[in-house]
Copies of this chain bind each other. A is one copy, B any other.
């Protein structure tokens, strides 16, 4: 089976923020308010199946937007293709991310990721070994945690 996704023209629901970053993929669907603070747009690139056991997608975080804390039973790989943002693993310092950065989060570690306050972030994600599970969503990242470098 060969999957081929065209690079569709994206809808520009927020021209001011979107202009800050270059997008490779369609903007996609607005993420649920249950799992995100602010606006995060998710686009699926490779759906989960038993051949690859791998989920791939893109998320565009508008400035200030971030995921809730969450856990991936088999870990996650994040690849930043434009903009600026953060990644934090529970108990570790917040990392600043920019275009070309690649970070990993090990299996069963709590983490969150999102844009910086001033600039959005284009972020691809890879969830490997999905036979072990995909994601367990937890509580929101408070403004204090989001703003702290620790």
Q: Give me the interface of A with B, judged by CB distance under 8 Å.
A: 1-8, 22, 24-26, 45-46, 51-54, 56, 74-75, 77, 79, 81-82, 89, 92, 95, 98-107, 124, 126, 128-129
The answer to whether A104 and B24 touch (CB under 8 A), given A77-B54, A128-B52, is no
Q: How many copies does the complex hold?
A: 2
Please tell me if the beta carbons of A52 and B129 are within 8 angstroms of each other in the complex. Answer: yes
A111 to chain B, nearest CB (A): 10
Write the chain B residue with the least CB distance to A22: B22
Please tell me if the beta carbons of B103 and A3 are within 8 angstroms of each other in the complex. Answer: yes
Known: A1-B106, A2-B105, A26-B100. 15 other contacts (CB 8 A): A2-B89, A2-B95, A3-B102, A3-B103, A4-B103, A5-B101, A6-B100, A7-B98, A46-B77, A46-B102, A51-B107, A52-B75, A56-B102, A56-B126, A129-B129
Which of A22, A26, A101: most chain B Cβ within 10 A?
Answer: A101
The answer to whether A56 and B75 touch (CB under 8 A), given A45-B102, A103-B2, is no
Please tell me if the beta carbons of B128 and A53 are within 8 angstroms of each other in the complex. Answer: yes
